[in-house]
Structure 1
Amino acid sequence: MPRTLPGPVAPVALTLLLGLWGITRENSMWRDEAATWQVAHRTVPEIWHLLHQVDVVHGLYYLFMHGVFTIFGDSLAALRLPSVLAMACAAALVASLGTRLAGRCAGQAAGLAFALLPAVQRYAQEGRSYALVTVCVAAACWLLVAAVDRPGTGRWAAYGAAVLVAALLNWFSLLALCAHAVTIALARPPRATVLRWAGAASAAVTGALPLILVSGQQSQQVAWIPPISRSTLIGLSLTLLVGALCAWAARRGLHPPTSTRLPLTALALPLLALPPLLLLGASLARPIYLDRYVLFTHLGLALLIGAACQTLALRLRTHMPPYRTTAVLVTLAFLGLLPSQLSLRGATGRIDDVVSTAENVAAVRRAGDAVLFIPAARRDTALVSPAAFTGTKDVALLHRPVESGTLNGRERTPDQITHALLTAGRVVVISDAGAASAATSRDRAKRRALDAHFIRCDQTSERGRTVTVYERRDNNLPMRTHEDEGANITSRGVRSVRVPPFPYG
């Protein structure tokens, strides 16, 4: 653990404060968090059944969140608090690393900079695994420096364990090993140290290999990732440019303590640059790049910003003490980033909101209504807030998510869906806002049946999703049967996120 305890206190406090500020995000939940919410409510055997079909890459995180919900109950705060705490621990480790590699001022500034980074603030308030991956990589970086400076079997074993846990949470974190290989090469430690690092890294990769192989068989889970866009390239280029400028600005102010073999830039620059560039290169063959997959690279960016702040503070020390300079810089950064911070904590700060969609359904649905989800993945609205769908029939659903071991259930054939729709007099459709969302044969059959036999009579678009009410063109409805009506909207063990302002019946 870090020798100097007071150093990380301010970064930890700031990270916790920012993470807890608006943690419910105006009682909203976006689609990825909805997956965590509904899977964490399943039993362990049901989660295991799911992982044999889809999402094995998130299996450890789902099991962890299942434990969190079991112990602390389910709420938006419980969903996101583990990520807040993980980022706070990562901030402490960044501050400790900066102190060890460049001095207390650099460490303090690095930890505070980490807390203020928009990407860190975003994923500190998301019920997904990326914050936990980040703190594991931060721990691995700290242990790497400690093991290079003072080699020991225990340190290398802990390093390998930290890398392995990060990989089991998301195996793209193994890209950090490529950065660490460059760090080792730049440090030029004794040959024994290099061999011990290689052994620890190999053990971690070997431990994660079964997960990598199984997730490769579920590659359809990432088939939706789009090709690399110009905005992605610009964003990454700007991030790398900021890191390079900070490294250049800090080059004269970095005087690492004699107790460490590693200069700060030898750890931070490879960590910032290599993982995203490697993932970007892999995406040329098959789109796989998402910035959240390499969120941990912001650890390197924060260290470089901290080093640059220390250099600036040292140059201004004739006017004010270094720590006062750091405080001024942090205050200015906070104020400059305030619009982004407010946006991230609002309900519109994510792609969509399943909770507000459920409220819109509850406002228009009637007993006996059919419901359709286009695409089927929008069924997460009902899985998170089943009470909003009381009395409705999911006419496309054949097997529910839990029994089918899927996230969204298995739907009927296109012909069966069309036949079931023809027995309905009124249909409530949940779809993406601004898009037809009819990419599959089932979704196209839903659209054809709606266009041919129903009239749109009401529509609400809010926070990324649309709720549309259709009514039959004629009143001569065929007799309904229980088989035709489809499945009742139920979700054992999952309740609504919040009590709505109107009765569900």
Structure 2
Amino acid sequence: MARSPALDTAPGLPRTRPGTGPRPPRRPGRAAVALAPAGLTLALGLWGIRRGNSMWRDESTTYQVAHRSVAQIVRLLGDADVAHGVYYLLMHGLFALWDGGLLALRLPSVLAMAAAAAGVALLGHRLAGPRTGLAAGTVFSLAPAVQRYAQEGRSYALVCAAVVGSTHLLLSAVARPRKRTWTGYAAAASATCLLHEFAVLAVLAHGATLLCARVPAPVRWAWAKAASAVAVVLAPLATVSQQQAALVGWIASPGPPELLGFAALALVGLGCAKAAPAAPGPLPLPALALPLLTLPGATLLAVSFLHPIYVDRYVLYSCAGLALLAGAALEAVLRAVPRPRAAAAALAAVAVAALLPCSIHLRTPQSRLDDPMAAARAVRELTRPGDGVLFMPARRREPILSSPGEFRGLRELALARHAVASGTLHGIELPAPRIRARMLTAERIAAVTDPPDQPLDDTPQERVKREVLDRYFRRCAQREVQGMVVVLYARPGRC
């Protein structure tokens, strides 16, 4: 009887049955694609979350504003920081339920960034397949900017997660263009912009995506109507925010570091887009990711040459675009090597090792501009009950606002009305003659000052503080902390 050719094997090799053979590598499911980057981001966010019991000035503002009543927060927003108003109200609600200090301050950002990582991975999955999604989510999780803002008590991580979520809704609306999907997109984008007004640039990037992808005209028209609804919702916030523009007067015009940094990321993204293979999906991945990476930052930079407003954290969500492009390029490279899983593991190990020094630094007080909590502790170490205290300049009152217990028993010599009572961020100071008179009643004064390389404020109050200290007091001791200097002054012979 003749044997079936399908059962023949080469000499010395085991026989196989028809239809059997090496199985293709299993593709990760949607749950694995989302949960792996989310878990990694969560672990990185919880690692060193207290950052050496430090808190920089913006986080200090969040902490003290969120501890005001709703009425007091609303009153403040009429004068300052309306752009962060929704975030302050959300944090107020959290602190009302659980006043967990630094952990409560930063945990929402950790959770939001973990959600953003899962969302980026699922975007990659929808646009180019599960392995691209897994790679994109991992790249996003490891990005230094993502690690940094996952551990900050500010709105940027929440905005990033919300932008990623609204991008998913855009894909759904493009794939199934119905009224309710576009309504959901408009509602999500509006809520995101209320969380931070510069999220509107992500909506602009979505419009550019639809133009690049050459979607049908009805889809573009539906997006235009949704974007118009977002603009209507955002208009009152933008109007009040513009009236408070002096609060961002510290932002300088873009210089070479900002321009080169943005250009480098844009070029990396463009290179990854060229390496990424074409893949089926609601939209081409490069058409979605490149505008999200480049358009928000480029718009802020262009505007900043007329009115400086560019700060990279304002468009943190651009990291999602870079991660998607890098994930697609990595998938193309790994698919071309003989053992893709081993290569992926080796590449991940190299990336973690290369980023480890940066990751460790980001979890130290020295990674931030200043540390009001350390300044408050230094004041407590240098002073005794009855001493006076000054903040030079007055806007550096974060230490006493976030750590009032460290100042118990001390006299504020320049304060006229507390920040809460006056509905301001830092309080209102006395006129210069009153400050002078009160300073002359003190034997010892602790001054919380900027570092020596900072320009001096030229207001009557600040001038009189410096004049009285120079003329009637002597330096007794000094403590330098991150971004601030605490100096103890005393009358001659009273140190």
TM norm structure 2: 0.92
Shift in alpha-carbon separation, 1:255–1:339, aligned structure 2, 3 A: same
1:41-91 residue CA offsets vs partner (Å, 9 max, x unmatched): 101001011111111110000000001111121311110010011111111
Partner of 1:345: 363
Deviation, structure 1 residue 391: 0.9
Partner of 2:129: 103
1:164-218 residue CA offsets vs partner (Å, 9 max, x unmatched): 1111111011111221111111222222211211111111111011000011111
1:111-165 residue CA offsets vs partner (Å, 9 max, x unmatched): 0000000001000000000001101110111111121111122221221122111
Partners in 2 of 1:7 and 1:324 — Cα distance?
A: 18
Does residue 360 (structure 1) correspond to residue 381 (structure 2)? The answer is: no
1:125-136 equivalences in 2 (<5 Å): 125-136=151-162
8 A contact 1:113–1:330 mirrored in 2: no
1:2-39 residue CA offsets vs partner (Å, 9 max, x unmatched): x9222111111111010111111011000000000000
1:205-249 residue CA offsets vs partner (Å, 9 max, x unmatched): 110110000111111110111221221112112111211121122
Partner of 2:113: 87
Partner of 2:421: 403
Partner of 1:451: 470
Partners in 2 of 1:327 and 1:152 — Cα distance?
A: 42
Deviation, structure 1 residue 437: 5.0
Partner of 1:325: 343
Which of 156, 176, 187 is matched with 2:213 structurally? 187
8 A contact 2:66–2:95 mirrored in 1: yes
Does residue 293 (structure 1) correspond to residue 314 (structure 2)? The answer is: yes
Paired letter, 2:48: G
> Which moves more between the two structures, 125-134 or 327-336?
327-336
Which of 40, 47, 59 is matched with 1:14 structurally? 40
1:62-461 equivalences in 2 (<5 Å): 62-250=88-276, 254-257=277-280, 260-316=281-337, 319-321=338-340, 323-435=341-453, 437-441=455-459, 442-461=461-480
State the SS of the aligned residue for 1:108. Answer: helix
Deviation, structure 1 residue 330: 2.1
Partners in 2 of 1:325 and 1:78 — Cα distance?
A: 39
Deviation, structure 1 residue 328: 2.6
> Which moves more between the two structures, 123-132 or 351-360?
351-360
Shift in alpha-carbon separation, 1:157–1:324, aligned structure 2, 3 A: farther
Partners in 2 of 1:261 and 1:142 — Cα distance?
A: 10
Shift in alpha-carbon separation, 1:435–1:443, aligned structure 2, 3 A: farther
Partners in 1 of 2:437 and 2:392 — Cα distance?
A: 17
8 A contact 2:388–2:446 mirrored in 1: yes
8 A contact 1:187–1:261 mirrored in 2: no
Partners in 2 of 1:408 and 1:435 — Cα distance?
A: 23
Paired letter, 1:93: G
8 A contact 1:98–1:110 mirrored in 2: yes
Shift in alpha-carbon separation, 1:164–1:53, aligned structure 2, 3 A: same
State the SS of the aligned residue for 1:458. Answer: strand
8 A contact 1:23–1:80 mirrored in 2: yes
Partner of 1:40: 66
**Bigger Cα Rg:** 2
Partners in 2 of 1:179 and 1:368 — Cα distance?
A: 57
State the SS of the aligned residue for 1:285. Answer: coil
State the SS of the aligned residue for 2:487. Answer: strand
Paired letter, 2:365: A
Partners in 1 of 2:260 and 2:292 — Cα distance?
A: 19
Paired letter, 1:464: G
Partners in 2 of 1:148 and 1:426 — Cα distance?
A: 68
State the SS of the aligned residue for 1:5. Answer: helix
8 A contact 2:30–2:130 mirrored in 1: no
Indicate the RMSD between aligned Cα atoms, in angstroms: 1.5
Deviation, structure 1 residue 474: 7.4
Partners in 2 of 1:298 and 1:103 — Cα distance?
A: 20
Long gaps (5+) in structure 2: 1-28
Paired letter, 2:388: A
TM norm structure 1: 0.90
Partners in 1 of 2:375 and 2:345 — Cα distance?
A: 42
